[in-house]
């Protein structure tokens, strides 16, 4: 551990919420060396130029440069600047407007197509067909709008990020001013625990350490100074400036506000996040399927129009028939089915402690084959514990534990996470005899010595000085060390061996502090102890700390891997700590990439390396984003789990961004779903729910597309030899609408176990094969129905207008019923890869709706509604033929489906 990374610099708190004071749970992993971060991708996030330029100024020149003075602005000056620059806020809690949600629902190729077709129907006088299409549009768009409005209302209300106060100097007096009222040029005073209220240039500092892990990913605080010490550093590494969204870990400072609100670095990030995120794998899959069906439509509808026009010389009738065919090929209920499936999934996931913000993320979670996570708090407990207390030979030592406890117990300064870990250790209360040790004096910590000491009086009446700090700060103060009760000198030969011992702990991923002591004769209070007494010490041993892995981490990772999800760890912490944690939870560390390696790789090289790498360590926010993009470029569906400001860009570019309810607001705003419990077990349950959603969406897509394609093939063939329209346009629309209604319970359907065991991303090639092989199966039995009706029921008879009308009505009624029954029944064949009803049963709502639609299809020709649709009652001899058709169709489809599955073609 470097000398600069002392006890206080490892307080390592992580900023959680920007509308609270920083008394949050500390981050729990400590770096052995300072992290080296590459510059952020400035194409994504811009650091204010004025802030960078201010670092080149000396402290005295900062005040005139920004038009202020040490006494601060006057209220009048502040009011003028507030009017000029606006309030110091980033974002409000606005919801997406209803009109925007409506517009988003309407801007769908399928909906637009239906609107065009309905407009054509109305314009050409076919009011019944146009009305049916309008009902389809209202049903699909309306339900989608309602579901999205509910989801947006439940999850989109984010608080204003800035609602605390800051100590501001105005007119020479300190005042508490709401952060939203700060303006450039304000003079601000900072103390331990304060939020940084804007982007500031420091002019005075006293042992100032700032926690900026939320921006950079660093797990530990960094020291800041009034004079710039890294003039050529990347902007976030400048030592004389501090950023909105970070916090003061210890020390104090005076600073001048340089930028506020959206002009800050954090504000620039918020602006970048307001852009539309790239389309996810689910969005791309739905779009590809939509255009696949539109291509089928653009081929089939004109072909049907031309054939019917040429065969019957009735171009007006052919036009309406072609319009109906186009509607029949359109899976107009897809937006509604998808929305209902996703909404049902969101409700189920809420019971699993997962809040879904963007419904489409559920399917992406199910299709996800790579999950990238941070180490801290996800694999680990996000809580530092005292793991080892040992002598210099690394043997357990209760004496060292007692000394460390006394040091932490009696110090009066701000106790950091390491002190709290020592005090919380259960064994300390047994071995540290507190009542018999009275505090005599204390030598506070300072950033020059890098150690802190307390002096206690033992029961023998002697004073014992106990010193604790980083080994490299303690070693020079030691005269000897103790091993098994023997005192040995700290000469060069021994020092090298001692360094190897504590470096072994560091190499195992522990944060190590050395403990040393020295006895004095009792002193009177008139002769206090000082830092000059921190010499000729005896090195007693070490205390080692670790953020241990969660008990649930290993089984959760095993569950995810069993379900086909690779887990990759992306952390800003050092690789030694990360390797140890990965090893303990069962992740391979054979391939590790550091941030410096990522920086040196091209996008192509990174994509190749990222696929085989399990651990990415010492990475910057820009690296995280590049890694996610690289994995997606190789066809993977990538999830990213993060909770810091620095995670927001990566959350946006992932297929599914996952955050937690304790995350910072920007991370939650960027995420697609929010876990109420930071556990991978919860996420694994979400993965299975996502796969259920996708399986049910795919059922509709396969059923609707293959059935509609089969019907259109039948219509195309019938147009060549049937002497009248095989089905009237209004009948096609009614048939299509009833069939769509039969599929509305699909979101309630059960999903077979085998469909949940691995990711199932969209595969348009497999879907196309399914349509081309399964669709024509229905056409074979449609043609058999055509032949039976033409020859068995004499529907060829068109000798008189009356005979022609009767033949057409009988033929159309027979095909209407047969088509609707076969389409509805085949749902139960396509919904499973197993034998329907025997090995896999549908849900009761789906089964009930299927029975209801089939009964409706049988009854319609005998009702007044059938008369309005141009249907007539069917003769008794028709029904045995229909039963045979249904049995044959189901059997053939099952055989073809089984064959395709065996060949792994679907």
- Give the pair of three-digit tokens for residue 60: 């005295």
Comparison of pLDDT for 145 and 618, the residue scoring more: 618
- For residue 213, give both structure tokens: 């892990």
pLDDT at 52 over 70: yes
The count of other CB atoms within 10 Å of the CB of residue 560 is: 20
* Residue showing tokens 């913000």: 357
Over 60: is that where the pLDDT of 30 sits? no
Q: In whole angstroms, give the CA distance from residue 627 to residue 633.
A: 10
Q: What's the confidence (pLDDT) of residue 478? A: 93
Q: What is the pLDDT of residue 126?
A: 65
Distance CA 859, CA 854 (A): 9
Which amino acids are annotated catalytic? 374
For 420-470, the pLDDT digits (tens) are 888 888 555 555 555 578 889 988 877 677 889 999 998 888 999 999 998
pLDDT value of residue 143: 64
Which of 115, 118, 136 has its CA nearest to residue 127?
Answer: 118
- Asked whether the beta carbons of 513 and 422 are under 8 A apart, the reply is no
Q: Residue 97's CB: how many other CB atoms inside 10 A? A: 11
Pseudo-torsion of CA 402, 407, 408, 409, nearest 10°? 80
Residue of higher predicted confidence among 227 and 279? 227
Contact 578, 561 (CB under 8 A): no
- For position 463, what pLDDT does the model report? 92
Neighbours of 657 (CB within 10 A): 31
Q: Are 739 and 823 in contact (CB under 8 A)?
A: yes
Of 836, 857, 852, 858, nearest to 749 by C-alpha is 836
Tell me how far apart the alpha carbons of residues 809 and 846 are, in angstroms, rounded to a whole number: 31
Residue 658 near residue 373, CB atoms below 8 Å: no
Q: Which residue has the higher pLDDT, 108 or 656?
A: 656
Buried b (16+ CB within 10 A) or exposed e, 343-356: bbbbebbeebebbb
What is the structure's pLDDT at 571?
Answer: 85
What is the crossing angle of helices 680-721 and 315-329, to 10°?
160
Minimum mean pLDDT range among 52-61, 334-343, 768-777: 334-343
**Residue 706 CB contacts under 8 Å (≥ 6 apart), including other chains:** 770, 771, 774, 775, 778, 830
Determine the Cα–Cα distance for residues 589 and 393; give it in Å rounded to an integer: 28
Name the residue among 677, 678, 657 with its Cα closest to residue 668.
657
- pLDDT > 50? residue 271: yes
Alpha-carbon span 303 to 313, nearest angstrom = 15
Q: Is the pLDDT of residue 96 over 60?
A: no
Query: pTM to 2 decimals?
Result: 0.67
Q: Quote the tokens at residue 839.
A: 């090995």
Burial of 303 (0-12, 13-18, 19+ CB in 10 A): middle
Report yes or no: 707 and 824 within 8 Å, Cβ to Cβ. Answer: no
- Residue 768 CA, chain-centre distance (Å), reads 31
| Residue 198 backbone phi and psi in degrees, to 5 | -170, -170
pLDDT, tens digit (0-9, with 9 covering 90-100), for 371-399: 999 887 778 877 788 888 899 888 988 88
- In this predicted structure, the answer to whether residue 651 has a pLDDT above a threshold of 80 is yes
Helix or strand (DSSP H, E) at 661: none
The pLDDT score that the predictor gives to residue 47 is 53
pLDDT tens by residue, 118-158: 787 787 666 776 777 787 677 767 766 765 665 455 444 33
Distance CA 456, CA 454 (A): 7
Strands 592-594 and 615-617, sheet pairing: parallel
Instruction: Name the residue among 151, 558, 516, 511 with its Cα closest to residue 361.
Output: 151
Q: Please give the structure tokens belonging to residue 285.
A: 């899959």
| Beta-strand relationship, 537-546 and 385-390 | antiparallel
- pLDDT-above-70 percentage for the chain: 84
* Residue 417 DSSP label: H
Q: Which band of pLDDT confidence, cut at 50, 70 and 90, is reported for residue 39?
A: very low
Residues 833-853 have a mean pLDDT of 90
Asked if 349 and 692 count as a contact pair (C-beta separation under 8 A), the reply is: no
pLDDT beyond 90 at 759: no
**Residue 533 Cα to chain centre, angstroms:** 54
pLDDT band at 269 (very low <50, low <70, confident <90, very high): low
Of 233 and 607, the structure prediction assigns the larger pLDDT to 607
C-alpha to C-alpha distance for 105 and 103, rounded to whole angstroms: 5
Q: Which of 766, 786, 768 is nearest to 716 (CA)?
A: 786
Among 464-468, 775-779, 883-887, the range scoring the smallest mean pLDDT is 775-779
pLDDT bracket for residue 42 (50, 70, 90): very low
d(CA 400, CA 319): 92
Token pair listed for 115: 């609107």
List pLDDT tens digits, range 314-338: 788 788 778 777 777 777 667 667 7
Predicted confidence (pLDDT) at residue 4 exceeds the cutoff of 60: no
Q: Classify residue 532 by burial, with Cβ atoms within 10 Å: 0-12, 13-18, 19+.
A: exposed
pLDDT, average across residues 734-741: 84
Residue 273 contacts residue 665 (beta carbons within 8 Å): no
CA 164/CA 400 separation, integer angstroms: 43
Q: Give the pLDDT score at 93.
A: 45
Residues 654 and 627 sit within 8 Å (Cβ to Cβ): no
DSSP class of residue 179 equals G
Separation CA 729–CA 475 (nearest Å): 92
pLDDT interval class at 276 (50, 70, 90): low
Pairing of strands 673-675, 656-660: parallel
Instruction: Give the other-Cβ count within 10 Å of 672's Cβ.
Output: 26
**What number is the average pLDDT over the span 34-50?**
41
Q: How confident is the model at residue 14 (pLDDT cuts 50, 70, 90)?
A: very low
Contact indicator for 645, 218 with CB cutoff of 8 Å: no
DSSP symbols for 194-243 = -B--SEEEEEEEEEEEEE-HHHH--SS-EEE-SS-S-TTS-GGG-SSEE-
For the chain, the distance separating the N- and C-terminal CA atoms, rounded to the nearest angstrom, is 56
Whether 95 has a pLDDT exceeding 60, the answer reads no
Compute how many other C-beta atoms are within 10 angstroms of the C-beta atom of residue 91: 20
Using 50, 70 and 90 to split pLDDT, how confident is the model at 10? very low
| Whole-number Å distance between alpha carbons of 633 and 655 | 12
Closest CA to 286 of 229, 364, 222, 178: 364
Burial (0-12, 13-18, 19+ Cβ within 10 Å), 329: buried
Is the pLDDT confidence value at 644 over 60? yes
CA distance to 148, 223, 488, 532, 831, per residue, from 472 (Å): 58, 18, 18, 18, 67
* Residue 841 scores a pLDDT above 50: yes
Which tokens is 616 given? Answer: 């990415």
pLDDT of residue 19: 33
Q: How far apart are CA 375 and CA 370, in angstroms?
A: 15
Give the Cα separation of 526 and 728 in Å (integer).
Answer: 109
* Measured torsion, CA atoms of residues 662, 545, 380, 635, in degrees rounded to the nearest 10: 110
| pLDDT for position 323 | 77
The answer to whether 133 and 112 are in contact (CB under 8 A) is no
Any idea which residue has 């770096």 for tokens? 31
Cβ(640)–Cβ(658) below 8 Å: yes
Q: What per-residue confidence (pLDDT) applies to 333?
A: 67
520, 453 contact by CB (below 8 A):
no
Beta-carbon contacts of residue 589 (< 8 Å; ≥ 6 apart): 578, 579, 582, 583, 614, 615
Distance CA 534, CA 529 (A): 9
Interatomic CA distance for residues 37 and 33, integer angstroms: 12
Q: What are phi and psi of 90, to 5 degrees?
A: -105, -50
pLDDT at 298 over 70: yes
Q: Chain-wide mean pLDDT for the chain?
A: 80
Q: Is the pLDDT of residue 810 over 50?
A: yes
Report the alpha-carbon distance of residue 604 to residue 626 in Å, rounded: 11
């Amino acid at each position: 551990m470097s000398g600069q990374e002392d006890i206080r610099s490892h307080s390592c708190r992580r900023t959680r919420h920007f509308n609270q004071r920083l008394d949050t749970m500390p981050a729990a992993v400590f770096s052995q060396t300072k992290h080296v971060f590459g510059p952020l991708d400035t194409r994504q996030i811009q650091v204010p130029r004025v802030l960078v330029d201010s670092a080149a100024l000396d402290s005295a020149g900062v005040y005139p440069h920004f038009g202020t003075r040490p006494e601060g602005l006057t209220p009048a000056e502040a009011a003028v600047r507030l009017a000029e620059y606006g309030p110091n806020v980033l974002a409000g809690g606005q919801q997406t407007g209803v009109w925007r949600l409506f517009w988003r629902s309407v801007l769908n190729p399928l909906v637009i197509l239906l609107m065009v077709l309905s407009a054509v129907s109305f314009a050409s006088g076919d009011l019944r067909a146009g009305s049916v299409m309008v009902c389809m549009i209202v049903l699909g768009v309306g339900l989608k709008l309602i579901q999205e409005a509910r989801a947006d209302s439940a999850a989109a209300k984010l608080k204003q990020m800035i609602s605390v106060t800051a100590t501001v100097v105005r007119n020479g007096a300190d005042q508490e001013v709401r952060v939203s009222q700060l303006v450039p040029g304000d003079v601000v005073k900072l103390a331990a625990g304060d939020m940084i209220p804007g982007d500031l240039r420091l002019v005075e500092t006293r042992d100032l350490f700032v926690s900026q892990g939320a921006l950079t990913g660093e797990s530990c605080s960094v020291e800041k100074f009034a004079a710039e010490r890294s003039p050529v550093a990347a902007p976030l590494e400048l030592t004389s400036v501090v950023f909105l969204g970070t916090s003061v870990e210890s020390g104090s400072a005076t600073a001048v506000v340089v930028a506020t609100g959206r002009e800050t670095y954090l504000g620039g990030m918020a602006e970048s996040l307001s852009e539309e995120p790239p389309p996810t794998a689910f969005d791309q899959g739905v779009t590809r399927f939509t255009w696949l069906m539109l291509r089928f439509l653009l081929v089939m509808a004109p072909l049907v129009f031309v054939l019917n026009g040429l065969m019957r010389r009735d171009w007006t009738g052919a036009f309406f028939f072609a319009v109906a065919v186009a509607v029949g090929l359109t899976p107009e209920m897809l937006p509604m089915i998808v929305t209902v499936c996703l909404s049902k999934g969101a409700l189920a996931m809420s019971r699993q402690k997962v809040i879904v913000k963007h419904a489409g993320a559920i399917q992406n979670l199910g299709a996800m084959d790579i999950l990238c996570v941070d180490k801290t708090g996800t694999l680990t407990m996000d809580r530092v514990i005292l793991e080892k207390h040992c002598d210099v030979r690394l043997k357990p030592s209760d004496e060292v534990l007692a000394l460390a406890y006394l040091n932490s117990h009696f110090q009066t300064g701000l106790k950091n996470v390491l002190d709290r870990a020592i005090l919380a250790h259960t064994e300390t209360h047994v071995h540290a005899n507190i009542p018999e040790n009275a505090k005599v004096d204390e030598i506070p910590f300072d950033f020059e010595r890098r150690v802190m000491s307390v002096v206690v009086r033992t029961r023998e009446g002697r004073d014992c000085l106990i010193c604790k700090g980083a080994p490299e700060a303690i070693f020079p103060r030691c005269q000897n060390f103790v091993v098994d009760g023997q005192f040995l000198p700290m000469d060069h030969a021994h020092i090298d061996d001692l360094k190897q011992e504590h470096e072994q702990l560091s190499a195992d991923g522990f944060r190590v502090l050395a403990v040393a002591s020295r006895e004095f004769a009792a002193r009177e209070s008139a002769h206090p102890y000082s830092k000059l007494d921190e010499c000729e010490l005896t090195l007693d041993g070490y205390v080692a700390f670790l953020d241990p892995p969660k008990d649930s981490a290993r089984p959760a990772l095993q569950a995810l891997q069993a379900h086909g999800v690779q887990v990759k760890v992306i952390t800003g912490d050092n690789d030694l700590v990360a390797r140890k944690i990965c090893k303990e939870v069962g992740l391979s560390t054979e391939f590790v990439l550091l941030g410096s390696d990522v920086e040196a790789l091209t996008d192509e090289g990174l994509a190749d390396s990222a696929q085989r790498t399990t651990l990415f360590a010492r990475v910057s926010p820009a690296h995280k984003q590049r890694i996610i993009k690289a994995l997606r470029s190789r066809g993977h569906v990538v999830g990213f789990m993060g909770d810091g400001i620095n995670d927001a860009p990566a959350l946006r570019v992932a297929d599914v961004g996952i955050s937690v309810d304790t995350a910072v607001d920007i991370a939650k705003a960027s995420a697609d779903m929010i876990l109420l419990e930071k556990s991978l077990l919860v996420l694994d349950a979400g993965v299975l729910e996502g796969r259920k959603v996708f399986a049910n969406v795919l059922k509709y897509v396969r059923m609707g597309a293959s059935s509609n394609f089969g019907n259109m093939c039948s219509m195309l063939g019938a147009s060549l030899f049937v002497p009248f329209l095989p089905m009237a346009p209004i009948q096609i629309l009614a048939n299509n609408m009833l069939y769509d209604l039969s599929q509305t319970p699909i979101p309630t359907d059960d999903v077979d176990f085998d469909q949940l065991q691995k990711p199932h991303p969209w595969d348009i090639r497999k879907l196309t094969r399914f349509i081309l092989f399964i669709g024509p199966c229905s056409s074979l039995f449609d043609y058999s129905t055509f032949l039976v009706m033409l020859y068995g029921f004499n529907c060829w008879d068109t000798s008189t207008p009356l005979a022609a009308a009767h033949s057409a009505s009988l033929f159309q009624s027979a095909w209407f019923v047969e088509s609707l029954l076969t389409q509805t029944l085949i749902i139960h064949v396509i919904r499973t890869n197993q034998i329907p009803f025997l090995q896999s049963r549908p849900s009761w709502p789906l089964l009930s709706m299927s029975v209801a639609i089939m009964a409706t299809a049988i009854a319609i020709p005998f009702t007044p509604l059938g008369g309005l649709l141009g249907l007539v009652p069917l003769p008794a001899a028709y029904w045995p033929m229909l039963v045979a058709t249904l049995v044959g169709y189901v059997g053939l489809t099952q055989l073809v489906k089984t064959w395709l599955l065996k060949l792994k073609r679907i």
